Amino acid sequence: MCCLIKEGVFMFQSMRYFDVYVLCQAASKLLMGGFERNVNDFFEPIFEGNDEQIQFNKYSLLHNYCEWVVRQNVWDEEEDIVPLIRDAHRLSAFTHKEGTLWIDRAINHYCQSNSDFLLWIKENSTKSLNQMTDTEVDDLRYDYLCNIQLCEDFYTCVTHVSNEMFYVLFQNREFLYNFNGYLSTYNSIRQNRISIPLWAQRSVFFRDHGCCVFCGKDLSGTIHITQSREIHYDHIIPLSQHGINDVSNLQLSCSKCNLVKSEKSTTSVKYQQWYDMDNN
């Protein structure tokens, strides 16, 4: 499981970021049709034959999507993986210590174990790598991946990476707009407006720094007294436009901006800078 550390009312997760930004980019490009992998494989099963309302869930649809991207990466990896495996075998005695396949390197990074496809071949095949055809090597890779998915370290690794991806992508409102826009095209049922759980409100409030994402108005009450009615947890893709009840589809808005936005699908890509680059 992920290393979640609770200190009083605060929760901290250990972040080690193994190829997380690369995977986040892949997750974004998939929505834009940037890869051969068909992203419909993820979205269609969510709504296919499902006429039930989608409820807020802590393991959100964005968490599910991140996990799906990680698992696809395990299987897809490089197109010409066999030559790379042979290169790793040739160099293993000198420099190759991190693992042959991506999942090997990821597991070893998060779990400090000794997962390696080449070692598995030695233990489970009567032939050496040099005696095998490319097809035989790729078939063994398939068997290895099927086998490793049953290991606890695999689950731990995938959970770590997908949670770290969520942490990055949850802060990217343009991505959230695209992701939920994609979801809405598959959702044929208009979702009911339901009470937003306190945990979802807190996460969105914290992510958006207690400010309206459109005009930047302080809604925290730190600078001026804020009436509770001024704080709106707005659906990025409105329910009327087939948006869903998911924490990834929420943003913080003041009452004025929420009234202007109305039933439009929109967000803001403006963010507060950490410091002024132009002045001392």
User: What residue numbers bound the domain in which 228 lies?
Assistant: 191-271
Contact (Cβ atoms closer than 8 angstroms) between residue 27 and residue 34: no
Residue 175 lies in a domain: no
pLDDT for residue 184 is more than 90: yes
Examine the domain organization and report whether 258 and 161 are in the same domain. Answer: no
So what's the pLDDT on residue 48?
A: 81
Examine the domain organization and report whether 204 and 108 are in the same domain. Answer: no
Examine the domain organization and report whether 165 and 196 are in the same domain. Answer: no
Kindly report the CATH number assigned to the domain that includes residue 243. 1.10.30
Examine the domain organization and report whether 25 and 84 are in the same domain. Answer: yes
The 10s digit of each residue's pLDDT in 136-155 is: 988 999 999 999 999 999 99
Residue 210 lies in a domain: yes
Examine the domain organization and report whether 18 and 89 are in the same domain. Answer: yes
The 10s digit of each residue's pLDDT in 47-102 is: 887 777 889 999 999 999 999 999 999 988 765 677 777 776 665 544 445 677 89
Residue 129 lies in a domain: yes
> CA 134 to CA 168: how far, in whole Å?
38
pLDDT for residue 171 is more than 90: yes
So what's the pLDDT on residue 90?
A: 62
Examine the domain organization and report whether 124 and 63 are in the same domain. Answer: yes
Instruction: For the chain, give the mean pLDDT.
Output: 87
So what's the pLDDT on residue 94?
A: 40
Examine the domain organization and report whether 66 and 195 are in the same domain. Answer: no
Examine the domain organization and report whether 70 and 1 are in the same domain. Answer: yes
Indicate the pTM of the whole model.
0.88
Examine the domain organization and report whether 102 and 201 are in the same domain. Answer: no
Examine the domain organization and report whether 128 and 235 are in the same domain. Answer: no
Examine the domain organization and report whether 7 and 98 are in the same domain. Answer: yes
> CA 272 to CA 176: how far, in whole Å?
18
Beta strands, E only, 146-228:
none
Cα dihedral 78/84/88/91 (nearest 10): -140
Residue 186 lies in a domain: no
Planar angle of CA 274, 277, 280, nearest 5 degrees: 105
The tally of domains found in the chain comes to: 2
